[in-house]
Amino acid sequence: MKSTERRILEAAGRLFSQRGFHATGMRAIARAAKVSLGTIYHHFKSKEEMLLALLKEEYEKRRRAIEALREENLPVPEMIRSIAELHFRFLLESGPALRPLAQGLRGLSPQAKKAALGMREEFVSYIASLIQEGIARGQIRRCDPVIAAHSFLGMVEAVSARALEGDEVGQRIQERGAGELAEIAWRALAPEPL
């Protein structure tokens, strides 16, 4: 049997995805999780806390996936493509629940924004360390790894957020977006010819 906290988070994620974060109430989450409202508040103080827990899980899942890629010792262009593909896959699997984050954290409290941005910064620093390693090996041109990591992640997030729309362009992005983004990123990071 799933833990109560897990059931609550899964229910919140489903409802955030279906109704949107702001349109989802705590009572609806309690009904969907089949727990009392008191049980919800025992585990989470607010919807924002649930959203942040979902985000933390998401970043941790992505970090572990990138770590597995790192252990494969892939060539840099392949690593970039794989990171873009992973991001797309994870976003399409759980992205709708995290749409408030993809939409610039609008409507969240300053504390929730700060926490979400802190998690993102930690993830960016992880990507920056990969870029720094590539620079040290001569596989990536000299650049500021933090700015390059922010640029890469921002580009992937923006395009993959558009992929969540259920129209023709969103579908096309889902099918080809990761490959196109990887190619653009590699062109920006490729070492300069000697």
CATH code at position 39: 1.10.10.60
In this structure, the answer to whether residues 35 and 105 fall within a common structural domain is no
Q: Where are the alpha helices (DSSP H) in 20-144?
A: 26-33, 37-43, 47-71, 76-94, 99-102, 110-136
Same domain, yes or no: 54 and 136:
yes
Give the pLDDT of the chain (194 residues) as one tens digit per residue: 369 999 999 999 888 877 878 888 999 999 999 999 999 999 999 999 998 998 888 888 888 888 888 888 888 778 888 888 887 777 777 655 565 555 556 678 889 889 988 988 998 998 899 899 889 988 899 999 999 999 998 888 888 778 877 789 988 988 888 889 888 988 889 887 75
pTM attached to this predicted model: 0.79
Please give the residue range of the domain that contains residue 29. Answer: 1-44
Reduce the DSSP state of residue 96 to 3 states and report it: helix
The single residue listed with the structure tokens 């080809």 is 176
Q: Do 118 and 103 have their domain in common?
A: yes
| Domain co-membership, 68 together with 161 | yes
Integer Cα distance of 108 and 192 in angstroms = 42
The single residue listed with the structure tokens 């889902």 is 174
Same domain flag for 33 and 56: no
Domain boundary among 29, 44, 59: 44
Let me know whether 131 and 59 are in one domain: yes
Contact status, residue 115 vs residue 52, Cβ threshold 8 Å: yes
- In this structure, is residue 142 part of a structural domain? yes
- Pick from 174, 2, 23, 1: nearest CA to 12: 23
Among candidates 86, 85, 34, which has minimal Cα distance to 59?
Answer: 86
